[in-house]
Structure 1
Amino acid sequence: MASINTNAAANQARQALAAAQKELATSRTRIATGKAIGSAKDNGAIHSIATMMTAERSGWTVANDSLARGQSLIATASAGLDAVSDLLRKAREKAVAYRDTSLSTQAKAAIRADIEALLRQIDRTALRTEFDGKKPLADTLTPTTVTQTTTTYTTVTSPYTPPAMSNLVGYTSGSGSRTFAVNGGAAAGRIDLDIDTYSALDVVEVWQGAQRVAATGQPYVSGGAAVGPGAPVTYQNVLSFDYDPANGQSLEFRFNENFGGSGWQINNVVLTPTDPLPTPTTTTTTTSVLASVATNYEFVRSSIGDLEGVAARPMTLNALKLDAIDWNEPAQLFSSLDAALGQAVEAATYYGERASSFDRLIEQNGRLADALETGVGNLVDADLGRESAKLQAGQIKESVATKALAIANAAPQWILSLFKG
């Protein structure tokens, strides 16, 4: 039906044009931003997940920034230690000459002046070794006591232990992630895995077939029943479980399977038929030490704010016990310089270990941040090839809809021709 009040064809063409323009705007936005989901209105659930992942990735980046400052502090301390060690070596050389009993008074005075000048330079070097207000070689020492609690386990030997398990004891210095697969043998009994994870955190689990039967941080469960995931632990631990070969003789000792981990060793693995569970022996030792007042400098190591410490290693004359020398006892001077040099070497070793640890943490954090970035990209990034094709299709739709609208708007003109001449 022809009408001058309603143009249905024009309405349809206008709707088609609006839809085409909307598709074009969406494709242009995705191509311009590179994102298929740029806000919550695009897809609320995915945008929320991506936002949380982005925040976590930022956390790892911030942690690496903090660790980088720690690296700079360590590098500064190491450079200062190199200078202190060099000065101590020179002072020690002169201390050897100072012990020569044939020297004249004037010669000994000259050597003493040289040694004193070197000692003053050592003190200045320690005091001037500074990064971001921190002086890792110049903290003040105060007497204090340190109480250390050590837990050890005594595990037995057993003739029932299969050779495949006994051979594991030879692996005394593993690190990171590693899995040992062994045959548990045909005899049932209880298996005790005695491990030492030292002072750094590690996670260890024992699997029998598809079932986790023991794990660090989980209590012993009788009957070889399943236990929960392992928790990070330090120092010596024993994992015990009941072994039944009917459930499969294949056993896996998994070290840090889903955890960064550090150094560890296997102390013992035994299969026993009736012996009681290994019980811990706790020893507490209190010693008197000279401790640094100022410190353990701490840096963020993870996306949740865990901290990694770098302790001060004072190298002032007071800390090295070189501030009160009896120049009438050349032998004492020599032994004091030897002890100070040993202290400097120990400090250099410590900072070297800390530097390696920070390097590993930064590398690991970087991998985690990259994985999160890739994951966010998989969720929200646009497929530019697909969007380009949709853009071209949208342009064609827009052109066709525009022409259709023009035709539809012109169609009622034929009604006027009915009233002509």
Structure 2
Amino acid sequence: MALNSVNTNVGAMVALQNLQVTNSELQTVQSRINTGKKVASAKDNGAVWAIAQGQRSEIGALNAVTDSLQRGQSATDVAVAAGESVSDLLLQLKEKALAATDETLSSSARDALNEDFKSIRDQIGTVIENAEFNGVNLLDGSITGGFKALANVSGDTIDVGAEDMSLSGSVVSLGASQEIDTKSKATSALSDIDDSIDQVSASLARLGTGSKSLATHMTFVGKLQDTLEAGVGNLVDADLAKESARLQALQTKQQLGVQALSIANSSTSMLLGLFR
């Protein structure tokens, strides 16, 4: 049987302990509702928080991979656009060179064709010079080995080879000073142009494949990031519907605890009735 004492109120002590437990649980639920997370710091769940932090670092690193892939794709797309322009210019040059092989041309007509030829030839140099994105030019021979875009957080790369389409380069065999002012020069230029057209077409095919590879991998990286973020959410995010229901229950429990403590505290005053 419990001791009736004004010094020690066991009922009040038990009610207070229960109320403190309820208040602690209520504070936890309110924190989850405020932050939207069931694991907001290491003290909530050290193991889960550490796992989540590791995945967050992976997601952050993948942002750098995405940026590198985007730069690579942009540089490659610029190169493809410039290469297509070079191909179109070579077709025009072929027309001029073929016309200049006609032995019946007058001197004035040949000179006119030669001037057109030189103007179009020089446009190739201008196009190549301006085929640059963020300091990267895949067509002027300035980059050895091509563009290396990050493929993963380990530092592996996806390489897109450079194609030197500058005049007298490895792709365009047409010389920077080549002319068609004579039939023999026109015949020689026609052969060089045919070779250049074939080489430029092959280069464009490689660049197009490289751009597609970067785009495909960038799509994969985006999906990977989404999956990792969903995984982190599963680990640390709070179920707000469940927490809302729990909040209502704990608030009711808190009110009952306060009433229970009030009743327990008033029990000692009942002892006064024994002395009347």
* TM bracket (short chain): 0.7 to 0.9
Matched, 1:325 2:181: no
CA distance in structure 2 between the aligned counterparts of 1:32 and 1:99, rounded to whole angstroms = 82
Shift in Å, 1:413: 3.6
Do 2:138 and 2:163's aligned partners in 1 also have CA atoms closer than 8 Å?
yes
Is the CA contact (8 Å cut-off) linking 2:118 and 2:179 kept in structure 1? no
8 Å contact kept, 1:31–1:387? yes
3-state secondary structure, aligned to 2:138: coil
Alpha-carbon distance in 2 for matches of 1:31, 1:131: 47
Tell me whether 1:105 sits opposite 2:140 in the alignment: no
Q: In structure 2, what is the equivalent of residue 118 of structure 1?
A: 120
2:30 corresponds to which residue?
28
**TM-score, structure 1 as length reference:** 0.59
Structure 1 or 2: larger helix share? 2
Q: 2:99 is aligned with what amino acid?
A: A
CA contact (8 A) 2:87 2:200 kept: yes
Aligned match of 1:400 in 251, 256, 260? 256
State the alpha-carbon separation in 2 of the partners of residues 13 and 324 from structure 1.
100
Residue 348 of structure 1 deviates from its aligned partner by 0.9
Alignment equivalent of 1:81, drawn from 67, 76, 83: 83
2:148 is matched with 298
1:138 aligns with 2:140: yes
* TM-score of the pair, normalised by structure 2: 0.88
- Give the AA of the match of 2:162: A
Give the deviation of 1:109 after TM superposition.
Answer: 1.0
Matched position secondary structure for 1:412: helix
Please state how far the C-alpha of 1:391 moved relative to its aligned partner: 1.3
Q: Distance in 2 between matches of 1:121 and 1:409?
A: 97
Pairwise mapping of residues 7-86 of structure 1 onto structure 2 (< 5 A)?
7-86=9-88
SS in structure 2 opposite 1:299?
strand
Is 1:412 paired with 2:262?
no
The 5-angstrom pairing of residues 113-262 of structure 1 reads 113-140=115-142
Deviation at 1:418, TM superposition (A): 6.4
Identity of aligned residues (%): 37
Distance of 1:419 and 1:84 partners within structure 2: 113
In 2, distance between residues paired with 1:21 and 1:375?
A: 31
User: In the TM superposition, what is the alpha-carbon distance from 1:113 to its structure 2 partner?
Assistant: 0.8
- Asked whether the equivalents of residues 326 and 332 of structure 1 are also in contact (C-alpha less than 8 Å), the reply is no
Matched residues, number? 268
Given that residues 40 and 236 in structure 2 are in contact (C-alpha distance below 8 angstroms), is that contact kept between their aligned partners in structure 1?
yes
Change (3 A) 1:80 1:326: closer
Q: CA deviation at 1:69?
A: 1.4
Residue 396 of structure 1, CA deviation: 1.0
Q: Distance in 2 between matches of 1:410 and 1:392?
A: 28
**Cα offset, 1:82, TM superposition:** 1.7
Q: Deviations over 1:203-225 (max 9, x none)?
A: xxxxxxxxxxxxxxxxxxxxxxx
The C-alpha deviation readout for 1:118-141, integer Å capped at 9, x for no partner, is: 11111011011111111111125x
Aligned residue for 1:166? none
Summarize deviations over 1:366-395 as a string: whole Å, max 9, x none. 333333233323322223332222211111
Query: Are 1:57 and 1:303, in contact at CA under 8 Å, matched by a contact in 2?
Result: no
Per-residue deviation, residues 69-127 of structure 1 (Å, max 9, x unmatched): 11111111111112211222112111221222222111111111111111111101101
Stretch deviating more after TM superposition (102-111 or 40-49): 40-49
Q: Which letter does structure 2 place at the counterpart of 1:303?
A: V
Q: CA deviation at 1:415?
A: 4.8
Residue 164 of structure 2: aligned partner: 314
Q: Gaps (5+ residues) in structure 1?
A: 141-292
AA aligned opposite 1:301 = A
Counterparts of residues 370-381 of structure 1 (less than 5 Å): 370-381=226-237
* Structure 1 residue 313, shift from structure 2 partner: 1.0
CA RMSD of aligned residues (A): 2.2
Counterpart for residue 352 of structure 1: 208
Q: Distance in 2 between matches of 1:296 and 1:137?
A: 10
If you compute each CA radius of gyration, which structure gives the higher value, 1 or 2?
Answer: 2
Higher strand share: 1
Contact persistence 1:139–1:295 (CA under 8 A)? no
For structure 2, list consecutive stretches of 5 or more residues without a partner in the other structure: none
1:308 aligned counterpart, secondary structure: strand
User: Cα deviations across residues 268-325 of structure 1 (Å, max 9, x unaligned)?
Assistant: xxxxxxxxxxxxxxxxxxxxxxxxx534221110122211112211222131232142
